[in-house]
Amino acid sequence: MTPAEIRALVRTVPDFPAPGIQFRDITTLISHPEGFAATIDYLVEAARPAQPSAVAGIEARGFLFGAAIAARLGLGFIPLRKAGKLPVATIGVDYALEYGQARLELDPTLVVNNEPVLLVDDLLATGGTALAGAQLLREAGARVDQALFVIDLPELGGGRKLRQAGIEPWALIAFDGH
């Protein structure tokens, strides 16, 4: 499948979770066997040049793509969880969402000092979640130089913010607006 065909599998839900937001729903993509497999293929090929030692995914949809990439590359997967979900001592970071606040947490024992970790999530919008994930991984000792996304919403500026933080973003598809 081409990226354009994959893009056509993403459903747009208007006014969710708030008026004016065009929510890009990937459930229609991940439920499509060929579309989901092709998406993983593209992400794996984009990940290879970074030569990561591990892949980190942001809860929840980043788990779907990040774990699949890690499995294909023969690497471990590091989950970046929502607050209170891990049963061990964690480090965490609070961050602003487009429409609220959130917290990510990490078991720091999963990170080997100075290892290159690839950050993965389903969507790049303002960059707040990805920047929080990168900050958390870096606090644990990882090197985070690249982040992969299925979807980018370039008008919201997340890619620019990631580049300013020394992280090169890559997205399979993009949508105008938000």
Is omega for the bond preceding 140 within 30 degrees of 0, making it cis?
no
Kindly report each contact of residues 79-86 with a partner whose C-beta sits within 8 Å and lies 24 or more positions away, as own/partner: 79/106, 80/56, 80/104, 80/105, 80/106, 80/133, 80/136, 80/137, 81/105, 81/106, 85/59
Kindly name the residue from 5, 98, 155, 168 that is annotated as catalytic. 98
Known active-site residue 143: no
The amino acid occupying position 43 is L
Phi, psi of 170 (to 5 degrees): -140, 135
Tell me the helices (H) and strands (E) count for the chain, helix number first: 6, 9
Establish whether 61 is a catalytic residue.
yes
Separation of alpha carbons 58 and 66, rounded Å: 8
Residue at token pair 């949508």: 175
* Range list of β-strands (E), 41-128: 54-58, 76-82, 91-97, 100-106, 117-124
Active-site hit among 7, 24, 59, 61: 61
Catalytically active residues are: 61, 98
